[in-house]
Amino acid sequence: MGLDADRLKAGGLEVIETEAQLQAALDRLAAGTGPVAVDAERASGYRYSERAYLVQLYRRGSGTLLIDPIATGSLARLQEIIGDEEWIFHAATQDLPCLRELDLDPSLIFDTELAARLLGYERVGLGAVIERLLGISLEKAHSAADWSTRPLPETWLAYAALDVELLIDVRDQLHQELIDAEKLDAAREEFADILTRELGVKKPDPWRRIGGISRLRSPRALAVARELWLSRDEAARGTDTAPGRLFPDRALAAVATAMPRTRGELARLKEFTGRASRTQLDRWWGAVERGLTTEELPPQAPRDPDRMPHHRQWEQRSPEADRRLKLAREFLVAHAETLHMPVENLLTPELLRRAAWVPRQPVSADAVAEHLRELGARAWQTSEVAQGIASAFVEADQLTSVQNDEDS
């Protein structure tokens, strides 16, 4: 019998969906002690919104709470009880946006996924971390389920309960490993930084993230793709359906590539697929027509005066910046290995590229540290990397000077 089946057999998987149930649950939670394990289930891939359809909590002395936020609405009263406690997540950035919609917003967190990364775990999924630390195999059979389903099957509830019921034990072991590795302060900085980030904010021109759009070479084709995306987004929002279920990206890109000139050509396009491709043909043809006739043609890439060229172009466009980037990258990779953590957790590639493209002058460890902090690096990161990056930049500039002398 698997762990999920054992949990199902143990019972206690009632969903909290009435006022009386919620008040009793809040009383239980208030009577518990210590940190609170928190998780949320969404319906990504099925629904347009990223709202939570189930919120799970576990606290020692309180047991497990499975709350239906669609039925209960705001959970501000829950926030009053646990707002000052430590909340334990696995990948907090995924859950915080939908929890904040319910008036749940922690002031202190412990992220078990991020802790595992900082400790150099090769596999950081919840199941892998639980198996490594607790010796328990946790199935992830329902992670991609449609959690907007009502009523929720009991097997799904057993899976959801296990996601939080084991999390406090995992947190305790990771906390001790962070202490032993002298990484607890770094982890705390990372956890605190998560709470200051603006999560769930859509970037400008979201239609440019269409899969396959990079193959569109003309502004007119891009205009068709944009109009199709906007029309699909409107339809998806109106029905709370994931856009890709109406009209997948690959089909949208195929239509923009073919640029059909009539409604019939669109209907006959074999790559034009999706459950709403034919039932809403007039909608899609209207979008194609707007794209074919608009005078507001989008540029191949968004205009951004501060935008750096892609780093693969640096060798031709700015050899000196390319040298700085490559030498600094060599240092970061080697230093990350000594710290037993992924290089992207030591310093994200984007921050290194920005620091290398136009470094502060004169180059020094202090100048690099100040620049990185302005770009968003944490204090522990700058203390680990500033001197090494500064040395790499100086070496790169010296190589550039030698090269220039030889060329002259």
* pLDDT score for 4: 72
* pLDDT score for 1: 44
Q: What are phi and psi of 47, to 5 degrees?
A: -115, 155
- d(C-alpha 104, C-alpha 107), whole Å: 10
Strand segments (E) across 53-156 = 54-59, 63-67, 86-89, 108-111
The answer to whether 29 and 22 have CB atoms below 8 angstroms apart is no
* pLDDT score for 303: 59
Determine what percent of the chain is predicted with pLDDT higher than 70: 97
Q: What are phi and psi of 359, to 5 degrees?
A: -70, 155
Residues of the chain with confidence (pLDDT) below 50: 1
Q: What's the pLDDT tens digit per position in 117-160?
A: 999 999 999 999 999 999 998 876 777 899 999 999 999 999 99
* pLDDT score for 176: 98
The set of residues, in sequence order, having a beta carbon less than 8 Å from that of 22 and lying 6+ positions away, is 16, 67, 72, 77
Sheet holding 54-59, edge to edge: 15-16, 63-67, 54-59, 36-41, 86-89, 108-111
* pLDDT score for 144: 83
Q: What's the pLDDT tens digit per position in 297-313?
A: 998 776 555 678 889 89
